Amino acid sequence: MNLAHNASLDNLPCSFVIFGATGNLASNKLLPALYHLEAAARLAESLTIIAFSRRDWTTENWREYMREVLKDKIKGSLDTPVFERFLARFAYHKGDLNDVESFRALADRLPPESACSSTVFYLAIKPAEFSAVIQNLEAVGLNKPRGMNRVVIEKPFGEDLESAQMLNRLLHQHFDEEQVYRIDHFLGKETVQNLLVFRFANTLIEPLWNRNFIDHVQITVAESIGIEQRADYYDHAGALRDMLQNHLMQLLTVVAMEPPPALEADALRDEKVKVLRSIRPIAKRAVHAHAVRAQYARGNIDGQPAMGYQQEAGVESNSITETFVAAKFYIDNWRWRGVPFYLRTGKRLAKQTSMIAIRFRHPPQQLFRETPLESVAPNWVLLSIQPEESMRMEIHVKQPGLDMDTRVMQMNASFLKTDEQTLDAYETLLLDVIEGDRSLFIRFDEVEWAWRVVDPILQNWTVEREFIPTYSAGSWGPAEANRLFDSDDQTWRNEL
């Protein structure tokens, strides 16, 4: 997003190394995003991209692989001259992540320090492999110059508070914090970035953004897909680690943060950390009142039968890994005291959608009690992140006619014009990595405090290993999620 762009063009990297280049993340996200940056002429001519993988390939084999992989993943029609220029940037490096000699050979392929200001190392690999790569980079001197070379790490950042702290200590042994880019692609979404503008550039909105006017906040990330051959990861992680601790917590901080003194990376992240530190701790005895978990069973999605989680390939028999989680949090500060934040996410739900829904309080006076309009539904602000990106506000207007009755109208503040296309989140974030803008990346104290918030829930569920409720695939989750609400008139908002 380049919120506060202070990167010097002289500091642009001349090499971009992708570890795990033949994996799903690289194929589905990184390579298409890099191509779109190429098409937009945002990559420096001098940038070379090195694909690091174990396959016994040549660079030409790799380029043929890219032609096959990218043909269905590029937005719009393929521009052949641009694509050929993009392919020419790549070199293939056969190597083993656990073999220091592979890294020594990689170092020999990179330009000398005098000819290149920095290199980006993107770890598109399993978290279990982070340690080997980080230590091997240091062993051959590729973590130097300190403060220059950059390492990009995908979530999850640990699997609990203790492992996250261990990962951070490992990183800081070999890299400075300024070199570490912890990526959460939700922060690259246009709607999430636009939320900062929506709140802090409009005097109409910000005075209402507090406990005096807002009844509650809902953050939903719903997926209609299952685990998609990721059982080896997902059956160990579950929805709480995979989504709520990182993606949903980051969305919560953007909704709830105070205005930063400046749109600079650390100023933004300071305010997000303050939110996390203000979340009311959940006592062990209160976990059931604050969190619900469940697992999808057989059902139907779009009229097609869908298997249950325990029937997925690679899932352990009688697994109690949660594929749905809903939780309630309170932020104990002057702005939000007493306002519940309801977070939920799940697999195999009725619809693929990500949305922030803010419900305002009821009007303080029942002005219309002696008219056909006995009660007035509250106003909502709806921020849709996917599949469409939009911002809407619901207000009441009088219906034409003799009676005093109203209907709800949506004011659509969509920021896209008809001829505009939004950037993919990875395109935004990769460009920020290359240009050295850390505004939309996660600092370690954010990771640590997010783990502190959810750790009581994790510890409780680790002990309770005998039973997990289920919900039908294609539904909106278990009915038990409704018990989190503080009042009877609060319900989940599923649709725009």
Give the residue numbers marked as catalytic.
Answer: 247
Helices (H), 13-117: 24-25, 31-39, 59-70, 80-88, 100-109
Cα–Cα dist 351/476, whole Å: 8
How far is CA 170 from each of CA 19, 57, 164, rounded to the nearest angstrom? 18, 32, 10
How far is Cα 85 from Cα 347, in angstroms, rounded to an integer? 39
How far is residue 122's CA from residue 52's CA, in Å, rounded to a whole number?
10
Distance in angstroms (rounded) separating the CA atoms of residues 468 and 262? 46
Helices (H), 240-341: 249-256, 265-278, 287-290
Closest C-alpha to 156, from 275, 270, 25:
25
- CA dist 463 and 311 (Å) reads 24
At residue 217, the 3 state secondary structure works out as strand
**18-50 burial string, b = 16+ CB within 10 Å, else e?**
bbbbbeebbbebbbbbbbbbbbeeebeeebbbb
Q: How many helices (H) and strands (E) does the chain have?
A: 14, 17
The token duo for 250 is 């980051």
Could you tell me if 473 and 300 are in contact, meaning their C-beta atoms sit under 8 angstroms apart? Answer: yes
Contacts of 252 (CB under 8 A, 6+ apart): 217, 219, 275, 329, 341, 343
Contact assessment for residue 301 and residue 224, using Cβ atoms and an 8 Å cutoff: yes
CA-to-CA separations, 248 to 303, 327, 352, in angstroms, rounded:
29, 11, 15
Tell me the residue type at 292. Answer: V
